[in-house]
Amino acid sequence: MTQVSENKVFGGRHVQYRHQANSLACDMRFAIFLPPQASENHKVPVLYWLSGLTCTDENFMQKAGALRIAAELGMAIVAPDTSPRGEAVPDDADNSYDFGHGAGFYVDATEEPWSAHYQMYTYIRDELPTLIEQHFPVTGEKVISGHSMGGHGALVLALRNPGLYRSVTAFSPICNPSTCPWGEKALSNYLGEDKTAWQQYDASILMVKLEQDQHIPALVTQGGDDEFLEQQLKPDTLVAAAKGNDYPLSYELQPGYDHSYYFISSFIEQHLRFHARHLGLA
């Protein structure tokens, strides 16, 4: 790993690193916040945060207002980039914001030319946590959260890997990507036209299939004035799936809030404290 930057904040450390990601076959950057409690003699649990379309590791760390609460709770936060990047990594020919660079959708691509680099599911589930646990004073206890495309990724990773995370939360997640324009574009390109292959990355479908002993606590917060609510996000499908399977999902629709980081910063403390309870920190 190569350190890119470091800042002291709320008694802890926010550090950016660059490293060679084997699963993505390119250099990747991530940011980690280590709270003041973290030391060689005291390891802390980790929240993995997955950001949305066009974002990098910087958006959440700089805009969400999460670090003060994480410092209080004794929780590390890891924020990866949203896709592989670099001159050798293929990008959308039209340079659109919702596919290619900045839009990895947290899937393992099977279609060329994407499959050589766009293995974000494996990177987030396996490679990055292994790296974090080898080099930083953290435990193996993990929770996961995200926003929009990242909310989709957080839900999918949690639902597909029972027992890997203690809890999952999401802000404005893409709940049913198999049936929305963002998801249809990304999944058809990364995975091909066979829609049965898409189901493994659709939280509303995955939630219906889980056995009762595979359920973990989940919280989803959605802005009522989100411009993408009806066409792209479709939270009603996730709520219906949870009800149909008695899944412990808490869903909150917050009137007047949009899709921005103003919305995330308004409710991030609630999400961090939700995770802290399930990590035994509060």
Cβ–Cβ under 8 Å, residues 238 and 204: yes
Q: Quick one: how far is CA 182 from the chain centroid?
A: 16
pLDDT at residue 282 in the model: 76
CA distance 282 to 279: 8
54 dihedral zone (left: phi>0; alpha: psi -120 to 50; beta): left
pLDDT at residue 221 in the model: 98
CA distance 126 to 229: 31
pLDDT at residue 258 in the model: 98
pLDDT at residue 253 in the model: 98
Per the DSSP assignment, residues forming a β-bridge with 175 are none
Q: Looking at the annotation, which residues are catalytic?
A: 148, 226, 259
pTM value > 0.95: yes
Reduced to 3 states (helix: H, G, I; strand: E, B; else coil), residue 171 is: strand
Q: Token pair of 153, please?
A: 């990724």
Amino acid in the structure at residue 74: G
The string of DSSP codes covering 179-238 is GSHHHHHHHHHHH-S-GGGGGGG-HHHHHHH--GGG---EEEEEETT-TTIIIII-HHHH
Which parts of the chain sit beneath pLDDT 50?
none
Mean predicted lDDT score pLDDT of the chain: 97
